[in-house]
Structures are given as C-alpha cells and as structure tokens.
Amino acid sequence: MLLRTTGLCKRYDHREEPVDALAGVDLELDVGTFTTVTGPSGSGKSTLLLALGGLLRPTAGEIWFRDLPIHDLGPGGLASYRREHIGFVMQEFSLVPYLSAERNVMIPLALQGYDRATQRRRAREVLERVELGGRATHLPRELSIGQQQRVAIARALANEPDLILADEPTGNLDPALTTSILDLLEELRQERELTMVMVTHSPAAAARGDRRVHIEAGRIVDTPRPIVTGAVS
Amino acid sequence: MRRLGLVWTELKHRRSQLVSGVLAITLGIAVIVAIHSVTVVSERAVAINLDNLGANILVLPQAANVDDYYAADIDAPTMPEEFVDRVVTSGLPGVDNISPKLTRRIRIGDHKVVLTGILPAQEIASKPVWQQSGLMGAELQLSCDPDSAENESLGYKDERLQRKVIEVLPEDECLLGSSAATRLGLAEGASLTIGETTLRVARVLEETGTVDDGRVFTHLHTVQTILGAKEQISAIEVMGCCNAISDGLLSELRNVLPDTRITTVKQIVSTQIKTNGLMRRISLTFLIIVLFVGAVSIGNFMWANVNERRREIGILLLLGAPRTSIYGMLLAKATILGLLGGAIGFLLGSLAATQLGPQFVGMPVKMLWILLPIACGLSALVAILGAILPAWIAGRLEPFTTMQEV
C-alpha cells in the first residue's frame, strides 16, 4: 500500500454556508496503479488531489503515505513530502516563464539539494525521454503547448517520485495532443513503475486508468473494478 | 541551478522593474554620499585653516580685553607663568603646543613699539613670512593635522613649514617687526637698548600687515626682567587640534585655568563651520528620509513583485520549496537590489560631489571610497527591512490558490 485515506473531509468556510468539498473519502492506492478520478465540476476531485499532494490540510480524516501521517504534518513536513515523493502535472503546465526548459526541470532537483552537474544531467535525461532534448535551452514561450506540457511532465519525473498527481493534464490540449500526452504518461508510468492519480473530465482519458473513481458532492459514489489487470505491485 | 541563480535570472528577466526598484534608493544614497563627501572636505578645510593658523586658542587673564584677537595680549593684565605648567601637566589631548607671552607697549627713544617676550622653543613660527625670513626651526609634532601626502591628495599645498617652532633665540637677541625696524632705524646685527638691557637684532621680519610688524620679539625671561614682572605672562597661545576644539577642548582648558579668559580664532572660519553643521544636518535628514522612503519603495516594489509572481511562487511551493526558501529568495533579491542601489548611488553621489562640490567649498573634492561599503551596507539593510513583510506574505501563499490564478 502506497497511500491510504480514511474518512477524508475538507470543508471550505464560506460567508453564507460552509462547503464540504470532501465528505468522508476512503481510498487506497497500491504501488504501480493508475487511478483516474472523474466527477462533475465542484464535486471535490481536485480537492482530493490537492489533499493527497499535501497542498491543503484536511478538515477531518487521515492520509497515510506508507507510514507517514500526511494529515499531521506541518508546512515544512508537507513541503518535504512533496519534494521527495510527489510529482505534479497540472493543467496550466506551471512552468516558470523566464527559465529554460532545462532549468525548469532542474528546480525540483535543486530543491532536493543535488549539485549543479547532477541537476543538469538528470534534467537532460528526462528531457530526452520526453523527446525534448533539442529544446533544453528554449524558454516556455518558445515551445508549443504540447512541448510545454512535456516539459512539465519531465519536471514531475525529475526527482523520481513515488506518486504522480495529474490534474487535467490534457485539459488545454487538442485531441491529437491529448492522445500523445496520455500515451507518454502511460509509457513513463509503466517503465518507471509509478503510481499515478489523474483527475480528468474526459471519459476516454478516465478509461486509461487501472481503476476509476467517481466523485460527487465530495463522496466516492462508484468504484468500478479495475478495467486493466496485472498492475505492477 | 542555485537559488541565487534563480533570483538573478528573474531580475534580468524583469529589467525595467529592476531599474524602478533601485531608483529611489539609488537617488537617496547618491544625495547622502554627495553631501557627505563635500562635508568631509569642508570640515577638513576648516581644520586645516585652523591648524595652519598655528596658535588658535588664546588664554588671557580674566580682565583682558578680547575685542581684537591678535592684539589682545598687548597691555593685558598679567597672570602667573605657572599657568603654563598647569596646562602641560593636565595632559589634555589635542594640545599640540603652548607658547606663553608677555607683551607691553614701551617707548624707545621717541618711538612706541610693542615688546613681546616669547619662549623660543615653544613659540610657533606660524607665519609664512617668518619662515621666509630664514627662521627655520624644529618641526612641531601635531596630533591631528593632515600629513603632506594627505594635503597633497586633497589638493592643498604642504603647509607643514608653518608649524615649525623658533628653536633658538638667545636672551640677548631680538627679532624686529618690519615697521618697528623702520621706526627705530635698525637693521640686522644692530644693537637695541631697552632700559639697561642691550639686545642684538638677530633678524628683521618681513612685513606681515599685522600688529606683529610693530613688535619687538625677544626672550620671555628678558622681557620679564625689563618689565620687572618676574614669572608673569600676559597671554598663552595654545595650538589646539581643530577636532579637539570642536570636541570641547576649550571647556577642558577652562576647567584647568578657571580664572582666565579663553578664546579661539574659530570666528575666522565660523561661516564655514556653520555651513558644515548645516550640511551635516541635511545629511542626517536625508539619511532618515532615505531610510524611510527607500524601505517603503523597496517594500512597495517587492509587494508588487510578489503579487506578480504569485503563480511562480506557487509553482515553487508546489514542487516542495520550503517557506524559508521563499523568504530567502525574496530577501536575497532585496539584498541584490540594495547593493546595486548603494553602489550606483555611491558612484552618482561621488560624481556629483567631485564635479559640483568644489563650487561650494572652493576645494577639490575627491571620491571617498570608504563610503562605498557603508552605502552598500546601508542600502542593503534598508532594502531588507522593506522586503521583510512582502517576503513573509509570499512564504505564506497557498500554492493551490496561486496555481488557479491565471
């Protein structure tokens, strides 16, 4: 078991009435599985992803990453958890605009304290893997949208995370690019035996997961059996 | 990639912001450096003027008239010569030389002259014309005057010659002021009889245009004998270090010699002293303004920068940057801005001082390199103070909210 939530709740205070974005989510993620999360807008799927990534503190419930109680960690502990175990791929690519592709990928490595040579070598390796070796010195604005998302994926992989959290990674892409990016993510996940959770609106993208989780009003309402068997464990 | 590298890359990426960020602090530092550079030279000019005058403090008996500094010793009441010992033994810092005098108007034949008794080893040959008359003596060791190298570096001529003392003046010799020599019809080598004392004229001094032209200078003990005023003097000329005078040497002298009148030639350079004081106050005012405006300006800039970079900061937090790392990057950025502002401000201020300063003080103004680290340090400190709050706020941003702000 890589990650487990029990009774996970997140309540947002609002002027008129509080909003329960998560209302008791129980979820278990095994090593090497690919879980897709679907649900209508405002159902709580992105909130679940943020909570799993240590980006917001749950109002109630527990999140365990192996033996690490994520729900109990302070800001420093959560930063360390993200730095060492999590790779994020966001809808908006999240690249620093004035840094080259290579230097964007070097950020998580720099935060982990690797020396400059190691940062550069590993950044080059992952950029080569996402077929952007020739674009390492390009700024984000000099890259196409698909290339920018590949840089974001490369950055998510740079620190060799245990868990990839992807929030609508193809939300801004056309169908051809969407297929290309999803194929890349799937290839990388399988070759690196990564655990991945992907929030998506797209049924086609959701169908790629070993396991599909559907959320409505902050609750998992349907947990189909894995449609792809033989997940690496 | 290092965090400082990230800061530097971001600064280069936003050059126009970099310029506007450092502008206020640069201008503030430039004004302070310019004023301070000119003030330093101006103060030095006052110090040199005072020091070059030779004796600059006059100690007189309580009843003496001090309307005319240079003639105050003439016909003044007397005081004990022991007062000299009191000053010597007091060990006051900044007292470089003490020359007691006894002066009286006397009549020699049909002519009135001023007879002044001096102690040769202590009498300052403070007037250039005395030097020109060949009265070379031992160089006086001064506590605070600029050496020749410093004088030359500031563009002044080397005035050390004026601070030599008359080393030898036998008790049976005298020096004649030019008009006294003319009136008495005496030349060098002639004899001058005063009462029962005969003196040989050792030197006729060149015309100075002062009351000294009418004086006959001879040994103090000779004058005391002639006037029957044993161990009495009418004045003590003190050569005090200018800085020591500013720091209260007069008060300390008054404590040592409570029953005397003590005055200085400070009035000669009083205008310049007042100007220096004014400039010092302006400099201080600007310092306060720069501290305030600079900190507000940098703070405002950093605040705008943090708001503009919320998304970038969110990315860094998302990737696991600890809050301390965000604080560190923003404070490092402020430090770079401060150092840049300080260095550029120093250069601009020094340029203004060297180009415009001479018109204010009438002396060449040189760059004071010692101000460079001070300017940079002050500027960096101000920038850091201004950036603390924005940095703290940036470190507390929530990555998931900033990531949603596109």
In-domain check, residue B52: no
CB B73 within 8 A of CB B60: yes
**Which phi and psi angles does A12 have, rounded to 5°?**
-100, 125
Q: What is the pLDDT of residue B157?
A: 47
Residue spans of beta strands (DSSP E) within B51-121 = 57-61, 79-80, 95-108, 111-118
Contacts of B5 (CB under 8 A, 6+ apart): none
In-domain check, residue B84: yes
CB B316 within 8 A of CB A85: no
In-domain check, residue B49: no
Q: Give yes or no for A10 touching B (CB within 8 A).
A: no
B97 and B33 fall within a common domain: no
Q: Which residue has the higher pLDDT, B181 or B71?
A: B181
Q: Give yes or no for A230 touching B (CB within 8 A).
A: no
Residue A19: both structure tokens together: 């909003």
Residue numbers of the domain that contains B32: 2-44+274-404
Q: Mind listing the pLDDT tens digit for each residue in B161-177? A: 344 456 667 888 888 88
Q: For residue A151, which of A176, A179, A128 has the smallest C-alpha distance?
A: A128
Q: What is the pLDDT of residue B169?
A: 77
In-domain check, residue B51: no
CB B186 within 8 A of CB B173: no
Nearest-CB residue to B319 (from A83, A97, A116): A83
In-domain check, residue B399: yes
B170 and B303 fall within a common domain: no
Q: Mind listing the pLDDT tens digit for each residue in A36-52? A: 999 888 888 889 999 99
Q: For residue B216, which of B127, B125, B133, B107 has the smallest C-alpha distance?
A: B107
SS (H, E, C) A51-117: HHCCCCCCCEEEEEECCEEHHHCCHHHHHHHHHHHEEEECCCCCCCCCCCHHHHHHHHHHHCCCCHH
List residues of chain B with CB under 8 Å from any CB of chain A.
Answer: 1-3, 6, 9-10, 12-14, 311-312, 314-323, 325, 398-400, 403, 406
Residue B44: both structure tokens together: 């030095």
> In this model, does residue B258 exceed pLDDT 70?
yes
B178 and B62 fall within a common domain: yes
Burial class of B110 by CB neighbour count within 10 A (0 to 12, 13 to 18, 19+): exposed
B189 and B309 fall within a common domain: no
Residue A137: both structure tokens together: 């010195």
Q: Where are the alpha helices (DSSP H) in B362-398?
A: 371-395
Among residues B245, B264, B283, which one ends one of the domains? B264
- Rounded to the nearest integer, the mean pLDDT of chain A is 87
Q: What's the gap in Å between the CA of A29 and the closest CA on chain B?
A: 21
The domain tally of chain B equals: 2
Q: Do A88 and B319 lie within an 8 Å CB cutoff?
A: yes
ipTM for this model = 0.87
Q: What is the pLDDT of residue B272?
A: 61
- Rounded to the nearest integer, the mean pLDDT of chain B is 78
Rounded mean pLDDT, A198-220: 89
User: How would residue B18 be classed by pLDDT, with cut points 50, 70 and 90?
Assistant: confident
Q: Mind listing the pLDDT tens digit for each residue in B349-377? A: 999 999 988 887 777 888 889 999 999 99
**Which phi and psi angles does A215 have, rounded to 5°?**
-115, 135
> Which chain B residues are Cβ-neighbours of A166 within 8 angstroms?
none
Nearest-CB residue to A94 (from B318, B320, B321): B318
Residue B391: both structure tokens together: 């940095």
Among residues B219, B237, B264, which one ends one of the domains? B264
In-domain check, residue B363: yes
Q: For residue A27, which of A50, A5, A58, A56 has the smallest C-alpha distance?
A: A5
Q: Mind listing the pLDDT tens digit for each residue in A137-153? A: 999 999 988 889 889 99
Residue A60: both structure tokens together: 């109630």
In angstroms and rounded to an integer, the radius of gyration of the C-alpha atoms of chain A is 17
Q: For residue B312, which of B383, B405, B180, B212 has the smallest C-alpha distance?
A: B405
User: How would residue B250 be classed by pLDDT, with cut points 50, 70 and 90?
Assistant: confident
Q: Which residue has the higher pLDDT, B398 or B87?
A: B87
Burial class of A151 by CB neighbour count within 10 A (0 to 12, 13 to 18, 19+): buried
> Which chain B residues are Cβ-neighbours of A154 within 8 angstroms?
none
Nearest-CB residue to A99 (from B9, B320, B322): B9
> Which chain A residues are Cβ-neighbours of B311 within 8 angstroms?
94
| CA nearest to B4 within chain A | A110
B298 and B384 fall within a common domain: yes
| CA nearest to B315 within chain A | A94
B117 and B237 fall within a common domain: yes
B257 and B364 fall within a common domain: no
B136 and B224 fall within a common domain: yes
In-domain check, residue B269: no
In-domain check, residue B377: yes
Nearest-CB residue to B318 (from A82, A84, A119): A82
User: How would residue B133 be classed by pLDDT, with cut points 50, 70 and 90?
Assistant: low
B101 and B219 fall within a common domain: yes
Q: What's the gap in Å between the CA of A79 and the closest CA on chain B?
A: 4
Among residues B242, B264, B286, which one ends one of the domains? B264
Burial class of B228 by CB neighbour count within 10 A (0 to 12, 13 to 18, 19+): exposed
Estimate to the nearest angstrom the gap between the alpha carbon of A32 and the chain centroid: 14
B84 and B129 fall within a common domain: yes
CB A89 within 8 A of CB A164: yes
Structure pTM? 0.64
CB B313 within 8 A of CB B327: no
Q: What is the pLDDT of residue B69?
A: 57
Q: Do B406 and A92 lie within an 8 Å CB cutoff?
A: yes
In angstroms and rounded to an integer, the radius of gyration of the C-alpha atoms of chain B is 32
B245 and B125 fall within a common domain: yes
B70 and B217 fall within a common domain: yes
DSSP A210: S
